[in-house]
Chain A
């Protein structure tokens, strides 16, 4: 993805509100793989995952006016739309929440997709960095991030108090932020 054109998040938001097609193309090119990564972690079926990805982008395009900059960053909003859509789709198909994640909760360190490159992030470097996360920290992030578990559900699943779930999440994110600096 060697796109010379670069938009700042503010520019992207303005262009997308104006229904600018090339901005949407840029959005897809830069974020589709990351969103697909989230879906792929939740859905075993590649075809279903790509259907969800396509639907997620349709939703992002059609509901863009609902995006409120004061409630979070653009990509976080996109991630939440994608994650919720995936959870809804799986639920409608009778999947149990977190079915996949419980099977491969350590796959962050082993998962490799060399074809993905991003101008924004050094993906391979990131993956190496993520190996420094403690397993219990990764599990918590993955359960919430890739499975859509609420903190209560994580607490129940891991048999730890709700407060501990939060603080562990906090420590994991602090660790993650340290690794990203």
Chain B
């Protein structure tokens, strides 16, 4: 057979694709070793079929390579150090695996969002509690400062306590005066006085030479319990008394006297 006749017959294609008979294959192998043109033609046919295979490629799942390499006791990653460095390969996932991965990613995102929400709420909660505690500490500190101040007044070696006893209007009421001998400052402890009714306020009087002198209004913070407070200073006085007056106070006592005590 002529070379060109062989080439155009389609036998070489059949040979390459494995569809030729054993006799034909043997014939082709003999011919290709004798004629470079036939050999070249076969190579071109092979390239065409190979391209056809690539055009129909289907990526197998990644487990195939792993199983193959572990059955051969290979490490999956090429380890030959003399090879040029390989870049990281983009692993193609098979579509079921891909959808599983996508579903897992969505689940993780949802989970993460839920956790974020949960922790954000928790954070808000804890943050609120922290602020509350800070406030409590601040108010306790303030209270402690006040108590310290009160105590320093009571404990001062210069303070002369004067007990004011309840009178007819309020037999159970009572108050104390701490009069500083060195400075003349007068402090009143009205904690045992009943709360003054709305629109009224207690007024402290110092009895100096038989006459009542205004010693100041007794106040309570925001309607809370009375606490020790500083009044006007006196150099001398024979007694102290508390009367219930109008809120602004008076120059002379007009209201009912609640407590009184002589020095």
Q: Taking beta carbons and an 8 Å cutoff, which residues of A are in contact with B?
A: 1-5, 20-22, 24-26, 28-29, 32-38, 40-41, 49-50, 53-54, 57-58, 61, 70-73, 75-76, 79-80, 83-84, 108, 111, 113, 115-118, 120-121, 123, 126-127, 129-130, 141, 144-146, 148-152, 154, 165-170, 172-173, 176-177, 180
Q: Evaluate contact between A28 and B93: CB separation under 8 angstroms.
A: no
Which among B17, B56, B63, B86 is the interface contact of A108 at CB below 8 angstroms?
B56
In the bound complex, do residue A33 and residue B57 qualify as a contact, i.e. CB atoms below 8 Å apart? yes
Residue contact A33 to B59, C-beta cutoff 8 Å: yes
- Do B50 and A4 touch (CB < 8 A)? no
Chain B residues with a Cβ under 8 A of chain A: 8-11, 13-14, 16-21, 29, 32-33, 42-61, 63-65, 67-69, 71-72, 74-80, 83-90, 92-95, 98
User: Known contacts A22-B83, A25-B76: does B9 contact A180 (CB below 8 Å)?
Assistant: no
Asked whether A150 lies within 8 Å of B21 as measured between CB atoms, the reply is: yes
12 example contacts (A-B, Cβ-Cβ < 8 A) are as follows A2-B89, A24-B74, A25-B69, A54-B64, A115-B95, A146-B56, A152-B21, A166-B14, A169-B13, A170-B8, A176-B52, A177-B48
Q: With the chains together, A149 CA to B21 CA distance in Å?
A: 11
Interface of A is mostly: helix
Q: How close is B57's CB to chain A, nearest CB, in angstroms?
A: 4
| Cβ–Cβ < 8 Å partners of A176 in chain B | 48, 51-52
> Which residues of chain A have C-beta atoms less than 8 A from B76's C-beta?
25
A41:B51 contact, CB within 8 angstroms: no
Pairwise interchain contact B9-A167, C-beta atoms closer than 8 A = yes
Contact for A40 among B9, B58, B72, B92, CB less than 8 A: B58
A34 touches B56 (CB 8 A): yes
- Kindly identify which residue among A1, A4, A28, A108 contacts B68, using a CB–CB cutoff of 8 Å: A28
Q: Report Cα–Cα, A154/B54, bound state, in Å.
A: 23
Identify 8 new A-B residue pairs, CB closer than 8 A, beyond the known A2-B87, A21-B78, A166-B10: A2-B89, A24-B74, A25-B76, A36-B57, A50-B63, A80-B18, A111-B56, A149-B19
The answer to whether residues A115 and B59 also contact, given A37-B53, A76-B50 and a CB cut-off of 8 A, is: yes
Report which residue of A57, A75, A76 has the largest number of chain B beta carbons within 10 angstroms of its beta carbon: A76
User: Which of B11, B46, B53, B78 touches A25 (beta carbons < 8 Å)?
Assistant: B78
CB distance from B34 to the nearest CB of A (A): 12
CB distance from A171 to the nearest CB of B (A): 8
**CB proximity of B12 to chain A, nearest CB, Å:** 8
Q: Are B50 and A73 in contact (CB under 8 A)?
A: yes
Candidates B11, B14, B17, B60; contact of A53 at CB < 8 Å: B60
